[in-house]
Amino acid sequence: MLLLAVVCVLCLWSPATLAGGVGSVPNCMPRKTVSLKSNGGHSFRMDGVFNYTTMLVREDLNLLILGAREAIFALDLANITFKKAMLKWQVTDEQKDECVNKGKDATNQCKNYIRILHKKDNGTMYACGTKAFNPTCDYLSWADGQLVLKDKQEDGKGKCPFDPFQGYTSALVDGVLYSATSINFRGSELAMTRSSDEILRTDVTANWLSEPNFIHMAHIPESEDNPEGDDDKIYIFFTEAAVEYDSYSKVDVSRVARVCKGDLGGQRTLQKKWTSFLKARLECSVPNTKLPYLVQDAFHLCPGNWRTCVFYVVFNPQSDSSQSSAVCAYGIEDIKAVFSKGKFKVPVKVETSFVKWLVYPSDLPDPRPGACIDDYARSKGISRSLELPDKTLQFIKDNHLMDQEVKPLGMRPLLVRTGPAFTRIVVATTTDLNGDSHHVMFIGTKSGSVLKAVNYDGEMVIMEEIQLFESSQPIKILRLSNSTQQLYAGSDAGVVQVSVSQCGRYHTCLDCVLARDPYCGWNLDTDRCSTINTSHRDSSVIQSVKEGNASRCQQLDYSKPVNITFLLGNTMKLWCQPYSNLAQVEWHVNGQSIKASETFQILSDGLMILNASTDDTGHYTCDSIETVLHQKYKTRHVEYDLKLWAGTGTTASLHDVQGKHNTFIAMVIWVEDVELVALDDFGWRVHFSSQGHFDAELGFECKLKSKTANMWFVIFICENNMETLTCDLHLSPGQMESLHVFIHISDFSGITVTSVI
Ligand SMILES: *[C@@H]1O[C@H](CO)[C@@H](O)[C@H](O)[C@H]1NC(C)=O
Ligand SMILES: *[C@@H]1O[C@H](CO)[C@@H](O)[C@H](O)[C@H]1NC(C)=O
Ligand SMILES: *[C@@H]1O[C@H](CO)[C@@H](O)[C@H](O)[C@H]1NC(C)=O
Ligand SMILES: *[C@@H]1O[C@H](CO)[C@@H](O)[C@H](O)[C@H]1NC(C)=O
Ligand SMILES: *[C@@H]1O[C@H](CO)[C@@H](O)[C@H](O)[C@H]1NC(C)=O
Ligand SMILES: *[C@@H]1O[C@H](CO)[C@@H](O)[C@H](O)[C@H]1NC(C)=O
Ligand SMILES: *[C@@H]1O[C@H](CO)[C@@H](O)[C@H](O)[C@H]1NC(C)=O
Ligand SMILES: *[C@@H]1O[C@H](CO)[C@@H](O)[C@H](O)[C@H]1NC(C)=O
């Protein structure tokens, strides 16, 4: 089978499609896999600097402000490789000593990790760093091409974590910082704080927050155009230890909580504490899993007004028993309804010491606890939270948990996938050729890749998995820029920028249309897959995102067969790589279908013929068949004509020369002329193997070559000193008779190579 590296446990579909309608083939597998080499991105890293995990996109300045460990960078938003400025923000020796004396580790913990970067209304920025367990904030400005720190050294306690490994989140709303993190050195007290003149905070009792890990914060301007005269809200996503379950072991749950922007705390009860802190469980249930999934990251998209806001949230399992990650989406109206209409869940003492969490059975005090100051409160003469009656405040002082959980849109996850865990998510909007708008998700993974996916009416389509970092580097931050249409990803090792669409990666009309990428369409005039021009809809462009209907694509007339001559006993690889991981490959020889056997191995990128014999001569064809919504599209990729070499020669195994130290091994690599267009650009990878005795990989620049009768003759002369193979490249079509080695050779473009004579 094809690249089944990632197994899709289930894909979720709308009820209609589940009932056997369209789209019953789950395609949680990314249609294309884009390697690190070919991701086409720009990257940035600086020697000695790590943890590139905080970003602020400044479209107004055309800059990406990047926070790392002990440094802040200003990078060109269009090309992040271009560093415009750098600012070192380091800990002093005294701070470091103090941190070390308190038992922290000097090389990792006692550094300044930039954790907060926000833009103030007047254009200056607010930055905070952990500063060796001494969180500090400052004003950062961009002037005359330089980053400048004001050196105000504000106390960052409650804004920025002490411990760089501890969770945190923050938002700047109307110039005021809302943050959620630890407020003490030990990291044992965690709170959501507003750092205005009237500081407000959650209480540090388990009723409010119980060992929380803060993930995401969002300001939703709900006061705009609001018939109830309601206030803006600040939502916060986090996980915490569940209090409401009867469980002996600790279970974590995902939560969404919110406060009102205009909250001023209570007068006597809840002085300097939120009077509007309400929380609810976030449900994202994955079938066949027991423990709740835990929120990892969230992104909110509000395409029109605030009523259209959707939170896209990624979840991971809390135990290792399941390997699948999920994405759930939540509508703001659903979240709002739970908080404004739902019942409370409260602890009730059932026996002397045993507590059960039950629905609060009685009538709630009036005004409703946790409600913002709205028209109803004002009609009762309450214009500020300070004026709330004590009954309401007494209730909300102890009770914050809603009984009802917040359910995802469609009542189920948008996407569940087994494989590397999801870490981050951002979502872009784009308009297709029909003028319909789509939400395109970019999901970062623990293995340094990003998935690009769209949900079309319940059908999940993962267009690409793009490798941005080495697979050991989890994606730790993702940001989008609308003005540059670029995605920025950060890891501990560096930053990479890629375009949200790279239509050029779709090679043919079928490939382009079946990709169902809302950014791309096949242009019949230029015969290329190109970015949809939203201002000018061209009828000569083919795009079919929802149906994946490629019937308007012209079938390609394939090129003439590739001629290959082989020797008895040769191992050959006939290259054929379909454009899509979802396509099935069919090989035929002389019209007969090829099945895997002792002679034939069907690989994801070709057909391997082992120990070739006279029976293996003939006409080979490779077709790929891609099925989209029950429609099959077949493409002939390549044809080969295999003939037996008429000359004479012998093959010997490398095993035979293994014992001969410091001898020269010469090999002739004999390659068909076809598919070699880019030969000059590709190094050659020569793989030596002989029953595991001898194994080496070398890179060659294949500069010398000669062309005779459609074939290249290349000779590598290799010195075999058993440890390393040093190879000189010689070229001589005439030296064929001097060679005695059997070698299996392949190169990056899958060129068929036969062995040596
Ligand atoms: C910072 O990066 C280094 C190097 O990759 C890593 O070992 C360390 O865990 C990172 N620190 C944090 C706080 O993520
Ligand atoms: C991006 O910036 C780097 C560093 O300034 C430069 O070398 C490179 O050519 C730029 N790339 C493009 C495509 O502009
Ligand atoms: C922007 O506001 C900050 C305080 O909020 C102040 O320190 C800074 O001087 C202001 N900058 C400008 C350019 O007005
Ligand atoms: C994105 O940019 C386009 C033009 O470049 C603009 O029309 C659109 O409103 C922007 N969208 C957002 C969400 O800013
Ligand atoms: C879109 O098409 C219009 C009209 O042909 C053209 O002026 C404009 O440059 C195009 N935009 C892009 C991004 O290609
Ligand atoms: C695909 O589109 C063609 C017209 O472009 C139409 O005739 C055909 O019915 C469509 N096929 C499906 C399966 O929708
Ligand atoms: C393969 O060989 C045949 C003759 O045997 C020739 O007509 C054809 O052009 C060759 N194909 C290629 C791709 O060179
Ligand atoms: C290769 O095939 C020949 C007969 O076609 C057989 O005699 C020989 O043992 C085979 N070699 C291997 C290594 O299987």
Long-range residue pairs from 11-14, CB within 8 A, at least 24 positions apart, any chain:
11/415, 11/416, 11/460, 12/410, 12/412, 12/413, 12/414, 12/415, 12/416, 12/458, 12/460, 13/458, 13/459, 13/460, 14/410, 14/457, 14/458, 14/459
Query: Among the listed ranges 10-14, 211-215, 276-280, which one has the minimum average pLDDT value?
Result: 10-14
pLDDT digits (tens, 9 = 90+) for 404-421: 999 999 999 999 998 899
Is the per-residue pLDDT at 654 higher than 70?
no
Number of compact structural domains in the chain: 4
Q: In what order do the strands lie in the sheet with 600-603?
A: 572-575, 606-609, 600-603
Q: Do 584 and 733 sit in the same domain of this protein?
A: no
Q: Return the beta strands (E) in 533-591 as ranges.
A: 541-542, 562-566, 572-575, 584-589
Instruction: For residue 621, give every residue at least 6 positions away whose Cβ sits within 8 Å of its Cβ, in sequence order, or none.
Output: 587, 588, 589, 636, 638, 639, 640
Indicate the average pLDDT of the chain: 82
| CA proximity to 461, closest of 432, 497, 488, 434 | 432
Q: Do 280 and 415 sit in the same domain of this protein?
A: yes
Tokens of 163: 């411990």
* Residue 630 Cβ < 6 Å to ligand 6: no
Is the per-residue pLDDT at 544 higher than 60?
yes
Cα-to-centroid distance, 70 and ligand 6 (Å): 58
Last residue of a domain, one of 498, 519, 554: 554
Name residues contacting ligand 5 (CB within 6 A): 533, 535-536
Last residue of a domain, one of 644, 679, 697: 644
How many degrees, rounded to 5, is the angle at CA 578 between CA 501 and CA 580?
A: 40
Query: For position 157, what pLDDT does the model report?
Result: 93
Query: For position 227, what pLDDT does the model report?
Result: 95
Cα-to-centroid distance, 639 and ligand 7 (Å): 12
Tokens of 371: 């409600």
Q: Do 538 and 623 sit in the same domain of this protein?
A: no
Query: For position 752, what pLDDT does the model report?
Result: 30
Q: Do 605 and 744 sit in the same domain of this protein?
A: no
Query: For position 744, what pLDDT does the model report?
Result: 32
Cα-to-centroid distance, 147 and ligand 3 (Å): 15
Q: What are the DSSP calls for 237-289, one per residue? A: EEEEE-SSS--SS--EEEEEEEEETT----SSTTTTB-S--EEEEBP-PPTT-
Give the mean model confidence (pLDDT) for residues 459-469: 95
Give the mean model confidence (pLDDT) for residues 690-718: 34
Nearest CA to ligand 6 atom 7: 551
Q: Do 368 and 266 sit in the same domain of this protein?
A: yes
Query: For position 687, what pLDDT does the model report?
Result: 33
Q: Do 4 and 106 sit in the same domain of this protein?
A: no
Residue-range definition of the domain harbouring residue 607: 562-644
**Tell me, what amino acid is at 623?**
D
Cα-to-centroid distance, 272 and ligand 5 (Å): 55
Query: For position 290, what pLDDT does the model report?
Result: 84
Pocket mutation for ligand 7, best pick of 558, 563, 619, 620 (most atoms within 8 Å of C-beta): 563
From residue 582, give the alpha-carbon distance in Å to each of 31, 229, 487, 544: 6, 51, 25, 17
Last residue of a domain, one of 431, 453, 471: 431
**Is 370 domain-assigned?**
yes
Q: Do 604 and 620 sit in the same domain of this protein?
A: yes
Q: Do 388 and 485 sit in the same domain of this protein?
A: no
Nearest CA to ligand 6 atom 12: 549
| Contact (CB, 8 A) for 671 and 751 | yes
Give the mean model confidence (pLDDT) for residues 59-87: 97
Q: Name beta bridge partners: 346.
A: 358
Q: Do 307 and 451 sit in the same domain of this protein?
A: no
From residue 36, give the alpha-carbon distance in Å to each of 30, 39, 40, 52, 626: 15, 5, 8, 18, 25
Looking at the whole model, is its pTM more than 0.75? yes
Give the mean model confidence (pLDDT) for residues 281-305: 93
Distance of CA 145 to the CA centre of its chain: 32
Cα-to-centroid distance, 482 and ligand 4 (Å): 6
**Is 324 domain-assigned?**
yes
Instruction: Identify the CATH number of the domain in which residue 574 sits.
Output: 2.60.40.10
* Residue 563 Cβ < 6 Å to ligand 7: yes
* Residue 650 Cβ < 6 Å to ligand 4: no
* Maximum distance among all Cα pairs of the chain, rounded to whole angstroms: 104
Q: Do 532 and 572 sit in the same domain of this protein?
A: no
Query: For position 603, what pLDDT does the model report?
Result: 87
Query: For position 54, what pLDDT does the model report?
Result: 97
Q: Do 115 and 52 sit in the same domain of this protein?
A: yes
Which ligand approaches the C-alpha of residue 642 most closely? 7
**Is 649 domain-assigned?**
no
Cα-to-centroid distance, 491 and ligand 2 (Å): 21
The residue length of the chain stands at: 757
From residue 467, give the alpha-carbon distance in Å to each of 40, 242, 480, 546, 569: 10, 36, 17, 26, 38
pLDDT digits (tens, 9 = 90+) for 308-363: 999 999 999 998 667 889 999 999 999 999 999 999 999 988 877 788 899 999 99
More confident residue, 725 or 146: 146
Helices (H), 278-389: 332-341, 375-379
With helix as H, strand as E and coil as C, how does 186-208 read?
Answer: CCCCEEEEECCCCCEECCCCCCC
Q: Return the beta strands (E) in 560-662 as ranges.
A: 562-566, 572-575, 584-589, 592-593, 600-603, 606-609, 618-628, 631-644
| Contact (CB, 8 A) for 514 and 544 | no
Query: For position 704, what pLDDT does the model report?
Result: 31
**Tell me, what amino acid is at 282?**
L
Q: Which helix (H) or strand (E) holds 688?
A: strand 683-689
Nearest CA to ligand 6 atom 14: 549
Q: Which helix (H) or strand (E) holds 434?
A: none
Provide the 10 A C-beta neighbour count for residue 165: 10
Q: Do 297 and 337 sit in the same domain of this protein?
A: yes
> Phi and psi at residue 690, in whole multiples of 5°?
-150, 95
Using DSSP's 3-state secondary structure scheme, residue 116 falls into strand
**Is 721 domain-assigned?**
yes
Give the mean model confidence (pLDDT) for residues 234-246: 93
Highest mean predicted confidence (pLDDT) among 163-172, 534-543, 666-675: 163-172
**Is 113 domain-assigned?**
yes
| Contact (CB, 8 A) for 113 and 130 | yes
Question: CA-CA distance, 279 to 282, in Å (whole number)?
Answer: 9
Q: How confident is the model at residue 662 (pLDDT cuts 50, 70, 90)?
A: very low
